[in-house]
């Protein structure tokens, strides 16, 4: 005999004021009965409304469908029912941000985020009352921004925090020196909520391996569902994608599951799985980098930056590359010894060591091409960070601007001579064509052939005397790249004497004084230019770069902000935003750093600059975003 069904009171079904809370009605029914059928629920809620609310509760893992047309409440549903029950019992009392947060400036987005995190929900009027008192215009702008970023959601004129918003909130607390207890409590609550879902997921899909469980939980905590919500309807499908990455880890070799096998086993469309793995790994939609270790087109393993295995690999690679660099310097005059210390031999030595300690020996052949890319990544990271802080990049853009606008397909190294011969033949047949010379310049720059480039520039001065000033500036740049700063500086001074009214050349002198470590002279010279033209954005941006080079990040920020105020649509604006982000990162203000780096990334993608420059700056952004995540993770580990 079936158990009788319990129904809620008239007070719940027909409240005196307003409509019934159908979410609460459904949860009441399922909480007070072992199970309910569609017919049971339809008897108190009309089918169209029932369908909407039941679907929403199932998607949020608050209700489960146990068998055909039978529904039961989950643990998350019980938590939500308790939350709504408490709300129905008492008048709503709002929690407001602490004074430290309110008195740290009008960061309205932080105020709103704090409110929706620490209250069940908020309505528009809550933000306009004391102590917040946000005016209508500012509030409107703030809410639109937070909704677009996916940090909050709006339901029936009520604003609630999203999962992505909770992640942002826990990071926001670090921006203010709030007590550790608040930070830990916020993070603990987030972990608790994620863990509940994870346990249910493991049970449903019979995940037993502890290593896979750990990697999966780590991925869920670091990669939020919100950025992919628009293309992925179910959060469970997102968790399946993270499970795929967690299963196909190098430590699992030779155990592997292909995309089509995984899709069939875990009931997810293969095209959806393929697309989102590509977005996460290749398109870097998260600030966490993944490397691919490819055995063949089907068998691919995924390694995450800053996880234990990658950190151990980094240590081994760094030691071997440092050894190669030092010993090559030591044996600079001995070609036999230098040959023995080739990069190929170094890669072989790394493979031997890591296959004994870190990776399965069966991965040896696949590790070779992987390591070459990995070493390139590490080398690029070190070199580009160094070059950026030394403020070389905008100078390069200023000097070679017209050259980079000339699009040419660069040859591979083994075709260099062939490409140069072809260009020389074209120059011989059309010696007055300046674009052909630009093409040759670009090839020589790409392969760091500075001696040949200097000879070409000397020839161009004779052939194109009207462009002598620009060509001489290029010669100065080549000398700088060859570490002959004094000769380059001499060219700059000669040009200033020859063109006394040209302040653009004075900008180059500012850079050279910084390269020569003439700090006060460089600063005085750029300040003088700003005094003459206070609304010149290039001057403020250059001043910021010089301050940045001497690690005066606070004042550098002021100059970069002034640059943007004057004009935020110049050819170098995207670089200014990125440099602002780097300065904030160096000052430990990670949220502001992340904000400006992402804004710089957005402007870089929209920029009309050449493809190579775009790729360089996009890589720089990703490297610094990854570094911020790494530093935060180290902080968490220290906690």
Whether residue 48 lies inside any domain: the answer is yes
354, 388, 422 — which closes off a domain?
A: 388
CATH for 37: 1.10.10.10
Same domain, 212 and 300: yes
Residue 1's pLDDT is what?
41
| CB 225 within 8 Å of CB 238 | yes
CATH for 272: 1.10.472
What does the alpha-carbon distance between residue 542 and residue 299 come to, in Å, rounded to a whole number?
49
Residue 579's pLDDT is what?
92
60, 89, 118 — which closes off a domain?
A: 89
Residue 191's pLDDT is what?
72
Same domain, 298 and 317: no
What does the alpha-carbon distance between residue 65 and residue 188 come to, in Å, rounded to a whole number?
30
List b or e across 235-270, with b for residues whose CB sees 16 or more CB atoms inside 10 angstroms.
bbbbbbbbbbbbbbbbbbbeebbebeebbeebebee
Residue 16's pLDDT is what?
63
Whether residue 125 lies inside any domain: the answer is yes
Same domain, 178 and 132: yes
Same domain, 106 and 141: yes
HSE of 34 in the Cβ direction (CA atoms, 13 Å)? 3
With H, G, I as helix, E, B as strand and everything else as coil, classify residue 290. strand
List b or e across 491-525, with b for residues whose CB sees 16 or more CB atoms inside 10 angstroms.
bbeebbeeeeeebebbbbbbbbbbbeeeeeebbeb
| CB 285 within 8 Å of CB 279 | yes
**Distances from the Cα of 546 to the Cα of 138, 239, 310, 538, angstroms:** 35, 46, 35, 12
Token pair, residue 303, equals: 């390694």
CA angle (23 as vertex; 21, 26 as ends), nearest 5: 110
- The parent domain of residue 249 ranges over 207-304
Same domain, 253 and 323: no
Whether residue 460 lies inside any domain: the answer is no
Residue 244's pLDDT is what?
96
What does the alpha-carbon distance between residue 397 and residue 380 come to, in Å, rounded to a whole number?
19
| CB 22 within 8 Å of CB 44 | no
Task: With CA atoms as reference, report the closest residue to 513 among 533, 529, 536.
Answer: 529
Whether residue 337 lies inside any domain: the answer is yes
Whether residue 627 lies inside any domain: the answer is no
Residue 223's pLDDT is what?
83
Residue 339's pLDDT is what?
43
What does the alpha-carbon distance between residue 24 and residue 45 come to, in Å, rounded to a whole number?
12
Same domain, 224 and 259: yes
Same domain, 141 and 115: yes
| CB 352 within 8 Å of CB 406 | no
Residue 258's pLDDT is what?
92
Tell me whether strands 152-155 and 158-161 are parallel, antiparallel or unpaired: antiparallel
Residue 415's pLDDT is what?
57
What does the alpha-carbon distance between residue 354 and residue 572 come to, in Å, rounded to a whole number?
43
119, 152, 187 — which closes off a domain?
A: 187
Same domain, 312 and 367: yes
**Distances from the Cα of 228 to the Cα of 159, 215, 225, 302, 447, angstroms:** 21, 20, 6, 20, 40
pTM of the predicted model as reported, rounded to 2 decimal places: 0.42
Whether residue 433 lies inside any domain: the answer is no
Same domain, 106 and 83: no
Same domain, 222 and 300: yes
Mean pLDDT, each 10-residue run in order, the chain (639 residues):
71 74 90 86 88 88 83 83 61 72 83 87 88 90 88 86 78 63 60 82 90 88 77 87 94 91 91 85 78 88 86 84 67 50 74 89 88 73 46 47 42 59 86 86 76 89 90 88 84 91 88 87 92 91 90 90 83 87 87 89 78 73 76 49
Task: With CA atoms as reference, report the closest residue to 632 among 288, 304, 384.
Answer: 288
Q: Which helix (H) or strand (E) holds 36?
A: strand 36-37
Same domain, 218 and 285: yes
Whether residue 555 lies inside any domain: the answer is no
Provide the sign of the torsion angle of the four alpha carbons 339, 343, 346, 351, taken in this order: negative
Q: Count up the domains in the chain and report the number.
A: 4
Whether residue 564 lies inside any domain: the answer is no
Same domain, 217 and 291: yes
């Amino acid at each position: 005999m079936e158990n009788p069904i319990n129904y809620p009171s008239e007070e719940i079904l027909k409240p005196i004021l307003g409509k019934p809370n159908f979410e609460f009605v459904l949860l009441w029914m399922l909480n007070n009965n072992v199970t309910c059928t569609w017919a049971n629920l339809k008897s108190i809620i009309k089918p169209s409304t029932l369908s909407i609310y039941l679907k929403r509760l199932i998607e949020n893992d608050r209700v489960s469908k146990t068998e055909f047309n039978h529904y039961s409440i989950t643990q998350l549903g019980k938590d939500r029912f308790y939350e709504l029950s408490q709300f129905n019992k008492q008048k709503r009392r709002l929690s407001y941000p602490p004074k430290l947060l309110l008195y740290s400036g009008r960061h309205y987005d932080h105020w709103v985020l704090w409110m929706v995190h620490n209250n069940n929900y908020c309505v528009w009027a809550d933000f306009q009352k004391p102590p917040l008192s946000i005016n209508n215009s500012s509030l409107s702008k703030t809410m639109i921004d937070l909704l677009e970023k996916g940090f909050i959601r709006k339901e029936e004129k009520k604003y609630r925090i999203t999962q992505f918003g909770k992640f942002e909130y826990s990071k926001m607390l670090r921006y203010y020196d709030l007590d550790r207890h608040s930070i830990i409590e916020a993070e603990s609550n987030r972990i608790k909520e994620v863990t509940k879902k994870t346990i249910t997921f493991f049970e449903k899909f019979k995940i037993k391996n502890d290593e896979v469980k750990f990697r999966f939980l780590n991925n869920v905590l670091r990669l939020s569902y919100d950025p992919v919500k628009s293309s992925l309807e179910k959060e469970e499908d997102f968790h399946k994608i993270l499970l795929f990455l967690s299963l196909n880890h190098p430590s699992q070799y030779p155990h592997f599951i292909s995309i089509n096998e995984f899709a069939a086993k875990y009931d997810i469309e293969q095209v959806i799985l393929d697309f989102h793995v590509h977005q996460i790994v290749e398109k870097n939609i998260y600030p966490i980098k993944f490397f691919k270790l490819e055995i063949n087109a089907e068998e691919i393993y995924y390694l995450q930056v800053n996880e234990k295995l990658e950190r151990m690999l980094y240590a081994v690679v760094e030691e071997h590359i440092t050894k190669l660099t030092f010993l090559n310097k030591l044996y600079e005059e001995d070609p036999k010894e230098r040959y023995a210390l080739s990069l190929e031999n170094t890669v072989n030595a790394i493979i031997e060591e890591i296959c004994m300690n870190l990776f399965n020996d069966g991965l040896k052949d696949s590790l070779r091409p992987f390591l070459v890319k990995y070493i390139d990544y590490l080398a690029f990271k070190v070199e580009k960070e160094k070059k950026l802080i030394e403020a070389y990049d905008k100078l390069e853009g200023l000097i070679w601007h017209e050259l980079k606008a000339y699009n040419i397909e660069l040859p591979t190294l083994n075709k260099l001579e062939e490409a140069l011969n072809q260009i020389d033949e074209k120059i011989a047949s059309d010696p007055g064509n300046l674009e052909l010379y630009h093409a040759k310049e670009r090839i020589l720059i790409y392969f760091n052939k500075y001696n040949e480039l200097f000879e070409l520039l000397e020839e161009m001065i004779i052939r194109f005397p009207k462009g002598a000033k620009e060509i001489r500036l290029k010669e100065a740049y080549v000398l700088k790249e060859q570490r002959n700063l004094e000769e380059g500086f001499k060219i700059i001074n000669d040009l200033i004497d020859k063109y006394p009214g040209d302040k653009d050349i004075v900008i180059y002198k500012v850079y050279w004084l910084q390269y020569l470590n003439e700090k006060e002279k460089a600063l005085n010279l750029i300040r003088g230019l700003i005094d003459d033209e206070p609304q010149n954005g290039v001057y403020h941006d250059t001043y910021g770069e010089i301050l940045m080079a001497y690690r005066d990040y606070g004042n550098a920020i002021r100059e970069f902000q002034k640059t943007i105020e004057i004009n935020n649509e110049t050819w170098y604006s995207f670089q200014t935003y990125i440099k602002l982000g780097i300065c904030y990162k160096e000052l430990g203000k990670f949220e502001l750093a992340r904000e400006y780096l992402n804004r710089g990334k957005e402007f870089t993608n929209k920029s009309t600059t050449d493809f190579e420059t775009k790729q360089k700056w996009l890589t720089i952004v990703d490297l610094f975003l990854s570094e911020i995540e790494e530093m935060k993770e180290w902080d968490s580990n220290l906690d």
